[in-house]
Structure 1
Amino acid sequence: METQPNGTKERDMGSEYLEYERRWIFWLLIFVAGWYGAYTSALRSGVFCNVQTANVVFLAMYLARQKWFSTAYLLLPISAYLFGSFLSEWIGKGVKHLHFLRWDTLLVALEMCAVVFLALMPADWPDQICQVTLNFVCAMQFNTYCQIEGLLATTTFVTNHICQIVATLAMLICHPESHDLRRKLKAHVLLFLCFTAGAVVSTVMCGFFSYTSLLSALIPLAAVLICLAWADLLVEHRYFDAVLRGH
């Protein structure tokens, strides 16, 4: 370990990464994100709640048409997303960890609670409750899980992964021998496939179990939570204040 000017310690672990930077953690999280997308699109007003691009477009359209009530409503999911980003940044960078678990681990536990609430929520409750809750959760996840073994990545949508796949393929034409480019391409392709698989499984489950199908998303989330908690408590506890690779 080397002490940095800000008093933190830089990890000295060779080429290894912390558990929450591991590829399989990102695979499971983005699989669940695909699950959310299909779930809300199929059962909750046909809206994709993982990001806010559509909401901002609709907000602009309603403003132009002077539909003030619709405009005011859209401020709710957008504000939830903004607050989720703010909260994850404040806790993740400021608090870092609470006694024995990292924020990254606590976030997965919080997400599981949200999944249980939404899956058991009465069907006649407003769909907006589901939308806003997932806006909040996805914003925190997007802002917390942003690096997969040294590569910038997202766990809530695939637009960036698609762009990175195409861009990396173009670069590989000029540099076919590049190991780093092949590694980058593989990472983004697998994340894209995991998101798609999550959406496929969610669609099938929605057909069989309707609203409660969301409970099945607890299985991959529980796997993530158990492994992250195990790492925090035993394997990586001494690295709580370490500067992560690439950060």
Structure 2
Amino acid sequence: MKKAVSADSNTDKAKKNQHYYLICERKWLYFVLIAVAGFWGAFTYLLRGDVFCNAQTGNVVLMGMALGTGHWMEGLYYLIPISAYMLGAFVSELLPNPIKHRLLVRWDTLLILIEMAVVLGIGFLPESAPVQISQVAINFIASMQYNTFRQAEGIPVATTFATNHIRQIGIGLAKEIRHRHTDEKSHRIKLKMHLKMLFFFAVGCIAGAFLSNHFLGKAIWATLLPLAFVFCVLLYADLVAEKSRIEEKPAGH
């Protein structure tokens, strides 16, 4: 009888010591978000001015090339998406605490709702509308998403571009070779995560290219479905499942 009680006690301690990840930190949610971002990347490049809106390295390079070859107006044009991206990071850094203390939901949940509203509006734009409208809007929400969703179950990841995932896969493969004759395999957790993130980003790009070619501007509405699903899950978490944890910060913040 004493042994049974001792075993139960050890089980309870193990459960308490096991880290609980908030719904907004779960891996599946990050897979959905990076697929959506991949879709946006293909959409903006194919239909909205050959601009990469998910990250700004390419736009800075293009701006430098234009300025270096004397195309001043073309170079200054890239300040539009760069500034929109910067503004998104600025806003998403300031709003979480005021939102959390004034509303019953997390900033993460509200952000998904904002993204849905922006996507809905972009889909209504006629093809003749200035591409800068879509560029600025997607730069803004992509930046906020990148700055808000930072860690998936303890693993730092990016939900709007693939560069870091490619780098981390290279590191993981190097560790695989280094530890091939040892029992050290902990690196595989991160390696698998980054492989999956890269895969879902590519899936989003493929879907974005395919649907953009067939439905033009309205193709972006396809991302409303996964975003709506994420929003409903996060809303339920805030109001019911994780109501008592509403003050708890997601990892990385």
- For normalisation by structure 1, the TM-score amounts to 0.89
1:156 lines up with 2:160 in the alignment: yes
Report the CA distance between 1:204 and its aligned residue. Answer: 1.8
SS in 1 for 2:145: helix
CA contact (8 A) 1:165 1:189 kept: yes
Equivalent-residue separation in structure 1 for 2:18 and 2:24 (angstroms): 17
- Give the strand-richer structure, 1 or 2: 1
Report the CA distance between 1:38 and its aligned residue. Answer: 1.2
**Higher radius of gyration, 1 or 2:** 2
- Give the helix-richer structure, 1 or 2: 2
CA contact (8 A) 2:99 2:106 kept: no
- For normalisation by structure 2, the TM-score amounts to 0.87
CA contact (8 A) 2:44 2:51 kept: yes
Equivalent-residue separation in structure 1 for 2:205 and 2:158 (angstroms): 16
Aligned to 1:183: 189
Q: Deviations over 1:31-81 (max 9, x none)?
A: 101111111122222222111112212222333344432333222211111
1:144 lines up with 2:148 in the alignment: yes
1:204 lines up with 2:210 in the alignment: yes
CA contact (8 A) 1:83 1:136 kept: yes
CA contact (8 A) 1:40 1:48 kept: yes
Out of 68, 71, 74, the residue aligned to residue 72 of structure 2 is 68
SS in 1 for 2:78: helix
The 5 Å alignment of 1:81-96 reads 81-92=85-96, 95-96=99-100
Single out whichever of 55-64 and 136-145 deviates more from structure 2. 55-64
Unaligned runs of 5+ in 2: 1-15
CA contact (8 A) 2:150 2:251 kept: no
Unaligned runs of 5+ in 1: 1-11
Equivalent-residue separation in structure 2 for 1:114 and 1:190 (angstroms): 27
CA RMSD of aligned residues (A): 1.8
1:227 lines up with 2:207 in the alignment: no
SS in 2 for 1:37: helix
Identity of aligned pairs, percent? 41
Equivalent-residue separation in structure 1 for 2:189 and 2:98 (angstroms): 32
CA contact (8 A) 2:179 2:185 kept: no
- Which amino acid letter does the alignment assign opposite residue 215 of structure 2? F
Aligned to 2:178: 174
Equivalent-residue separation in structure 2 for 1:233 and 1:144 (angstroms): 20
Report the CA distance between 1:92 and its aligned residue. Answer: 2.5
Aligned to 2:222: 216
CA contact (8 A) 1:97 1:240 kept: no
The 5 Å alignment of 1:43-58 reads 43-58=47-62
Single out whichever of 215-224 and 167-176 deviates more from structure 2. 167-176
